[in-house]
Structure 1
Amino acid sequence: MTAHIENLDIPAGMEITGELPDGAEKVLTPKALELIVDLHRKFNGERLGRLEARKERQAEIAAGKDLDFLAETAEIRNDPSWQVAPPAPGLEDRRVEVTGPTYKKMTINALNSGAKVWLADQEDANTPQWDSVIQGQINLLDSLNREIDFTSPEGKEYKLAPDDELPTIVVRPRGWHMPEKHIRIDGEETSGSLVDFALYFATAGQVQIEKGRGPYFYLAKMESHLEARLWNQVFEHAEDAFGLSRGTIRATVLIETYPAAFEMEEILYELREHSAGLNAGRWDYIFSVIKYYRSRGSEFLLPDRSDVTMTVPFMNAYTELLARTCHKRGAHAIGGMSAFVPSKDEAANKAAFDKVREDKSREAGKGFDGSWVAHPGMVSLCKEVFTETLGDKPNQIDNKREDVNVTAADLLDVKSTPGSMTEAGLRTNVSVGIQYLRAWLEGNGAVAINGLMEDAATAEISRSQVWQWLDAGITLDSGEKVTKDLVERIVAEEVAKLPGDDAGWKDATDTFVSVAIAPDYVDFLTLPAYARMP
């Protein structure tokens, strides 16, 4: 640690409590810090209000009210005249996007992957450790300035490919719910969303503007068009503060919460001149379905996670509606992440590639303009599959999917999901959840487990499904009822199978158990886990 707090020009009212990694002054600039203060004072109250509105909606659903398309915004949905802004420079062709955290090695690998876009993830594939938050911003700035390289402990060197081969960078800040406890303004914790946005926009984002490609963002875990409106106000304020024209900033919204699926058009409308489309955030979407309807009985009980594929009725309806909505309004529709990672086992590798090909072919056939992969080794396959549909065209926004007619009942049709609730599925949830949490607490947010790249979203599914099955007292296909004693026994048995000393698993196990079997459901696993971080 060679950077020092006293060397920073910290605005009045701001307190920074985290130690600074080398190079922190490059991103903790006076303009960046002033923007954080400005955004906090202007928008944090509304952010907290939006989070309270989430609780109110959740209470309504628990009391028996169902999600539905909003009557008060029907005029927006029925107005055929409005469109979002045309695709921004560097975002015209998005046939393959690689996702991953902003660690130095992964930054270089993602930028050298051959993808059209790199989703530089400060959210689910990252951890909010203070060092990761700041070092990630440094890595982004250094990569745009071509000042980044990395040598592994084994001596392998990583360097950037030539400029014209690099993908467009799109940064994913933390969701509205996550705080940043290492920066306080007027005695209050700041928003992780606003901190991530401001640090990038004021530093690396300005380099992107000079290069004519950005700054661009992915917006995570929004639950309503009013939350999108808040982001739009933040964008306008930042553009005005830096003397930029409207629409310089662009954002793709992940439709990864159950309520947002009923407000897709309204979300696009709120972000019109700043919109870069919507993405089908499949894993968080499944988590959100469980979360919102967790106490509503058998109609909303899901089988084993592995059975909830994109072809089951409620998931198929959601993706069909997303493609239809985006193309109706001139926006990109981006498909969900393939979590498979290449394997040294030839048979396992072939099976993984076959599944990815099937998944991406389905998305391209539905009208999606591109899709995500979690590993650079899957980029070529995804690009190949979408090129079979797109050819030389950059996208298929002209495929309006007017054949699609999705109702609220279709989106709510969880009960038609085929599959079983098994002890093996329960064990997988426990094991994957605890393994991921250990890595997350130790600073690694993207973890390969059992051939899949796991991130916070899949950990959320795992612990939520354990909670729901336990709360409902379901009976597994083996005939055994899910009880607290059963879950605790399985936790002990699964942890005993994991490598390493018992002490190394204690924190992760305690965190998992505290949210999986607690009487009251915790909205986000990452909140109590973040509280355990220094």
Structure 2
Amino acid sequence: MILKIRVRGGGRVVLDRELGNPAGSTPAMVPVGVELSPSPQGLEEEYGTLFTPASLLFLHQLVTEFDNEVDQVLQLRVSRKAHLDASGDLPAFSRATSHIRDDPSWTVLPVPPRLQRRHVDVGDMAPCDTERLLHALRSPAQGLQIDFDDGNCPTFYNQIKGISNVCKVVHNQFPDIPALPQVPVLMLRPRAWNMVEHNMLVNGREVPGPLFDFGLLMFHCGKALYNSESGPFFYLSKVESFMEARLWNNIFLWAQHQLQLPRGSIKATVLIENVLATFEMEEILYELREHSAGLNCGIWDYSASFVNKFGHRGDFLLPDRSKYVNMEKRFLRSYMDLLVQTCHRRGALATGGMAAPLLPPARDSPAHRTVLANVTRLKLLEIQAGVDGFMVYDLRLIEPMQKLFQQHTGGENQLHRVREDVTVTPEDLLCMPAGGVTLHGLQYNIGVGILFIHAWLSGKGHFFYRGQVEDSATAEISRSQVWQWILHQARLEDSQRVVSRSLVVQLTQEVMKELTEVTACQTVRAAERLQTAAEMFLEVVLKRDFPEFLTSYLNLDHTFLSSQREEEASVALLSKL
């Protein structure tokens, strides 16, 4: 195996010769044009372990094989949005795929035993946070959502650290952590299709973020996960159509062949986070029927997708989420009921969203009891709807929620509940809840949006605010609502003031006083970062055209890219002290 490396101007490592095939297969001569940024300071060992000649070849082949198809599904998103805008049409169940929905004979393959009774996963588990990861691995949770997407900030440092930590768990390299079969099952969540990896180029183009994450995780962990009967299992984020599911299925087939794993080894849960995907859930399961672990329903990314697709239409003005938007509303309850019915009809597992509240530390306090009661009430609604599991963020919620499942399901999944009582129409799915806009809701959305951008500039993908965890999903709905309310000149219930550009700017200045205390800005640099976050938030919500994804917008912004380097340098310095 021959590998020649040279360093080009700009600091990228360039692999420009030829490598043999990975996984012990017959060597073949393949051209390699990979450019890779140098190791983040402090991660030289992890970097060297992950980026071997064989793994780089695997990544090169993976990206070369599927890069054009990634472009095609992203172009399909643009064309569908353009059609909806130009025609004024609304989504519906497609006649072209009715034969799939009308055929009662097909089901997904049964999932492995470790997925059959997975009631409570831990969500927003950014794997670069080693301390929290190890704590969760020792918890009684049945699964961990190893999140490179919503709860993670994709700096190069975080990606390398996170993937390396997953490899260490899989290969039992952490002291005092049991081997794979004895720890919660790892549900690996690569970035979504809208994200790119700036630090690696293949054939002169930046690599799609999900291919970077999936490729390294599969190459280094796939066989070990399979041999221990613990995977490889994935969450697939922000899938919008069955064509995207078909692309993932082709990627799975390719990776299994390359790594000499049996067909169907990979199992994936698709997160239905977009309103268009709701009309194609059966088709999505059908495309992934050899590899499906089911579907997942959330609330905030899904709600934000309405603004994304229809936000300029007055009929789709989404009211104050803190007061009028919850899973009891018709459009969300219909979505959850249809998801459960669809999954169970096809033998797939249906999972619910994440409980974001944090339990107050004093267990006997009224505040603690109130939070636990609210979480219990909302999660009981999901159990009664027929879900087979859901997520929590606070590890202290694991056992109470497992007991809740035990009480109402006997500890089993609910696949037997096919929900024949459910009939969901397009009107049910597209019915916006009644309600208006409150001053509190507007201020809350502003605060969440600014704090999320501030967290990203600090190299973090989630943060805590007013008693619960917030991540990119809540940031998406927050900035989406502010943008939409300005566009439609919504009026505040409290005072009948119009939500205007000037009002949002004024309220941002007022909210910043609270946020300065929340973020404990004790240095000039910290205060400047918070101010930058506020300016970026205003830039996003005041734009004429709606940025499709906040994370994409930030990931391409020079402010975030320069802050990455600053944060990684700071982490490296601290590690030496």
Task: Identify the TM-score tier after normalising by the shorter chain.
Answer: over 0.9
2:383 matched to 1:358?
no
Q: Which AA in structure 2 matches 1:527?
A: S
1:35 aligned onto 2:58:
yes
Q: 2:152·2:462 contact (CA, 8 Å) conserved in 1?
A: yes
1:8–1:29 CA contact under 8 A, matched in 2: no
Q: 1:491 & 1:206 partners in 2: Cα distance?
A: 50
Q: Indicate yes or no: 2:532 matched with 1:507.
A: yes
Residues 354 and 188 (structure 1), Cα distance of their counterparts in 2 relative to 1, 3 Å cut: same
Residues 59-81 of structure 1 show CA distances to partners (whole Å, capped at 9, x for unaligned) of 22223110111111000000000
Counterparts of residues 50-69 of structure 1 (less than 5 Å) = 50-63=73-86, 64-69=88-93
Is residue 214 of structure 2 the alignment partner of residue 197 of structure 1? yes
Per the alignment, residue 225 of structure 1 pairs with 242
What is the CA deviation profile of residues 283-312 of structure 1, one whole-angstrom value per residue up to 9, with x for unaligned ones? Answer: 210111121110111444333344211000
SS where residue 186 of structure 2 aligns?
strand
- The alpha-carbon deviation at position 117 of structure 1 amounts to 0.9
Please name the residue that 2:464 is paired with.
Answer: 448
SS at match of 1:90: helix
Structure 1 residue 406 corresponds to structure 2 residue 430: no
User: For 1:511 and 1:225, how far apart are their aligned partners in 2?
Assistant: 34
Q: Does 1:533 align with 2:561?
A: yes
In the alignment of these two chains, the number of paired residues is: 519
CA contact under 8 A between 1:511 and 1:528: conserved in structure 2? Answer: no
CA distance in 2: counterparts of 1:146 and 1:328, whole angstroms:
38
SS in 2 for 1:23: helix
Name the SS of the counterpart of 1:75 in structure 2. helix
5+ long unaligned stretches in structure 1: 150-158
User: How far apart, CA to CA, are the structure 1 residues paired with 2:316 and 2:528?
Assistant: 40
Contact in 1 for aligned 2:223/2:261 (Cα 8 Å): no
Match of 2:143 among 113, 117, 127: 117
Q: Would you say 1:16 and 2:41 are equivalent positions?
A: no
Q: How does 1:28-107 map onto structure 2 within 5 Å? A: 28-63=51-86, 64-99=88-123, 100-102=125-127, 103-107=129-133
Q: How many Å apart are 1:520 and its aligned residue?
A: 1.2
> 2:396 is matched with which residue: 358, 365, 377?
377
RMSD: 1.8
How far 1:132 moved relative to its partner?
0.4
Is 2:199 the partner of 1:182? yes
SS of the counterpart of 1:183? Answer: strand
Distance 1:283 1:301, change over 3 A: closer
Residues 1:25 and 2:48 are matched in the alignment: yes
Q: TM-score, normalised by structure 1?
A: 0.94
Q: Which amino acid aligns with 2:76?
A: A
Alpha-carbon separation, structure 1, partners of 2:468 and 2:295: 24
**Structure with greater contact order relative to length (CA < 8 Å, sep ≥ 6):** 1
Q: Is residue 121–residue 172 contact of structure 1 (8 Å, CA) maintained in 2?
A: yes
- 2:186 matches 1:169: yes
User: Of the candidates 389, 394, 402, which is equivalent to residue 408 of structure 2?
Assistant: 389
Task: Return the alpha-carbon distance in structure 1 between the equivalents of residues 54 and 151 of structure 2.
Answer: 27
CA contact (8 A) 2:181 2:228 kept: no
Instruction: Tell me, in whole angstroms, the C-alpha distance in 2 between the residues paired with 1:406 and 1:530.
Output: 37
Cα deviations across residues 81-103 of structure 1 (Å, max 9, x unaligned)? 00001012411111111111112
The residue number in structure 2 matching 1:155 is none
- In 2 relative to 1, CA 281–304 (structure 1 residues): closer, same or farther, beyond 3 Å? closer
Cα gap change, 1:7/1:384 in structure 2, threshold over 3 Å: closer, same or farther? farther
Matched-pair contact (CA < 8 Å) for 2:306–2:316: no
User: TM-score, normalised to structure 2's length?
Assistant: 0.87
SS of 2:96's equivalent in the other structure is: helix
Are residues 1:326 and 2:343 paired? Answer: yes
Tell whether the 8 Å contact from 2:172 to 2:178 is kept in structure 1 after alignment.
no
Per the TM alignment, residue 108 of structure 1 is displaced from its structure 2 partner at its CA by 0.8
- Give the whole-Å Cα distance in 2 for the aligned partners of 1:115 and 1:326: 23
Distance 1:496 1:85 in 2: 54
For the residue of structure 2 that corresponds to 1:400, the secondary structure is coil
Q: Do 2:271 and 2:296's aligned partners in 1 also have CA atoms closer than 8 Å?
A: yes
Q: Which amino acid aligns with 1:279?
A: N
Q: Matches of residues 216-295 of structure 1 in structure 2 within 5 Å? A: 216-295=233-312
Q: In structure 1, what residue type is equivalent to 2:384?
A: G
Take 1:236 and 1:128, find their aligned partners in 2: how far apart are those partners? 27
CA contact (8 A) 1:95 1:387 kept: no
1:134 aligned partner = 160
Tell whether the 8 Å contact from 1:62 to 1:296 is kept in structure 2 after alignment.
no
SS of 2:406's partner is helix
Distance in 2 (alpha carbons) for counterparts of 1:438 and 1:144: 32
Work out the CA distance in 2 between the residues paired with 1:48 and 1:270.
19
Whole-angstrom distance in 2 between the partners of 1:53 and 1:8: 33
Instruction: Measure how far apart 1:383 and its partner are.
Output: 0.8
Q: Name which of structure 1's ranges 217-226 and 377-386 shifts more when overlaid on structure 2.
A: 377-386
Which consecutive residues of structure 2, in runs of 5 or more, have no partner in the other structure? 1-10, 20-31, 563-577
SS of 1:498's equivalent? helix
Q: 1:112–1:165: 8 Å Cα contact kept in structure 2?
A: no
Relative to structure 1, the CA distance from residue 306 to residue 106 in structure 2 (aligned partners, 3 Å threshold; closer, same or farther) is farther
SS in structure 2 opposite 1:81? Answer: coil
Partner of residue 441, structure 2 = 425
Cα distance in 2 for partners of 1:352, 1:117 equals 23
Aligned-partner Cα distance in 2 for 1:294–1:143: 43
In the alignment, is the contact (CA less than 8 A) between 2:476 and 2:550 conserved in 1?
yes
- For the pair shown, which has the larger CA radius of gyration, 1 or 2? 2
Question: 1:281–1:337: 8 Å Cα contact kept in structure 2?
Answer: yes
Does the aligned pair in 2 maintain the 1:304–1:419 contact within 8 Å?
Answer: no
CA contact (8 A) 1:441 1:529 kept: no
- Distance (Å, rounded) in 1 between the aligned partners of 2:453 and 2:202: 30
Provide, for residues 178-211 of structure 1, a one-character-per-residue CA deviation record: whole Å limited to 9, x for no partner.
0111000111011001000001000122221221
Report the Cα distance in structure 2 between the residues aligned to 1:80 and 1:358, rounded to whole angstroms: 34
Matched residue of 2:499: which SS? coil
Residue pair 2:143, 2:184 contacting (<8 A) in 1 also: yes
Structure 1 residue identity aligned to 2:46 = G
Partner of 2:6: none
The alpha-carbon deviation at position 126 of structure 1 amounts to: 0.4
> What is the aligned counterpart of 2:546 among 516, 521, 529?
521
Compared CA separation, residues 434 and 6, structure 1 to 2 (3 A): closer
**Aligned equivalents of 1:9 and 1:32: distance in 2?**
15
SS in 2 for 1:182: strand
Structure 2 CA distance for aligned equivalents of residues 420 and 468 of structure 1:
12
